[in-house]
Amino acid sequence: MSVSSPVTCVVVMGVSGVGKSTTAELLAERLGWPMAEADGFHPQPNIDKMSASIALTDADRIPWLHAIRDWISERAAAGESVVVTCSALKRTYRDVLRQADARVRFVYLHTTTGVVQRRIAGRSGHFMPPALLGSQFADLEALESDEDGVVVDPRASPGEVAETALVLLGLASPAPPDPPSPPAPPLPPTLLTSRRTTGA
Ligand SMILES: Nc1ncnc2c1ncn2[C@@H]1O[C@H](COP(=O)(O)OP(=O)(O)OP(=O)(O)O)[C@@H](O)[C@H]1O
Ligand SMILES: [Mg+2]
């Protein structure tokens, strides 16, 4: 990890369905940084296993995490900061991502199983067996105090969640300056006259 690196990678982490993609898209848009989804970095053997509903082991995840880490480093070498979604449930997974040659910072979307269950139920095009969500929470190791990152409650609107993350990370753009006030309208002629006549 290179804390002094001027190039940053924001990793949006948390269990499946908590809102990582939704939040990361908004962060990338507001920061003007490219975004990648961790799912896109799985090697073929992992894709084959997942297609066959076989759970990935920690050993399976190593080449996947290395691929994400290397992509972060490649973009950083090109001077580009990025946003990545990655469940990054265990500290050892985050340790691999931190090996990237960039300042790797985490946005940990942290909430209850109930909130996530409702989100998954309301999401079209995805099916997730409840047991799988249980195993995600069982694996989840919260962001620790010595890790570079912030914890955000994802229950607010997507825009508010992204804004809170940016503020906590110190990456929110400063509010634009107030526009110059318009010139005062000319005084009506009657008022000008009355001032002249009173001599006040
Ligand atoms: N802040 C929010 N408020 C309300 N609904 C949200 C919010 N964020 C995300 N959602 C909804 O919750 C569902 C899950 O969100 P999303 O797909 O972003 O989660 P994810 O963590 O990327 O999931 P996965 O790990 O499966 O990729 C989606 O239907 C999304 O529209
Ligand atoms: Mg997602």
* Tens of pLDDT, residues 115-161: 999 998 888 776 677 678 899 999 999 999 999 999 999 999 999 99
Nearest ligand to the CA of 14 is 1
**Domains in the chain and their CATH numbers?**
8-169 (3.40.50.300)
For residues 25 and 21, give the distance between their C-alpha atoms in angstroms, rounded to a whole number: 6
pLDDT for residue 46 is more than 50: yes
For residues 48 and 13, give the distance between their C-alpha atoms in angstroms, rounded to a whole number: 24
Give the chain's length.
200
Q: Whose CA is nearest to atom 23 of ligand 1?
A: 17
For residues 176 and 24, the model is more confident at 24
Q: What Cα–Cα distance (Å) separates residue 140 from each residue in 69, 92, 131, 136, 183?
A: 20, 11, 14, 6, 59
For residues 12 and 27, give the distance between their C-alpha atoms in angstroms, rounded to a whole number: 9
For residues 81 and 194, give the distance between their C-alpha atoms in angstroms, rounded to a whole number: 65
> For the chain, what is the mean pLDDT?
90
* Tens of pLDDT, residues 9-23: 999 999 999 999 999
For residues 151 and 164, give the distance between their C-alpha atoms in angstroms, rounded to a whole number: 10
Q: 154 alpha carbon to ligand 2 midpoint, in Å? A: 14
For residues 87 and 180, give the distance between their C-alpha atoms in angstroms, rounded to a whole number: 46
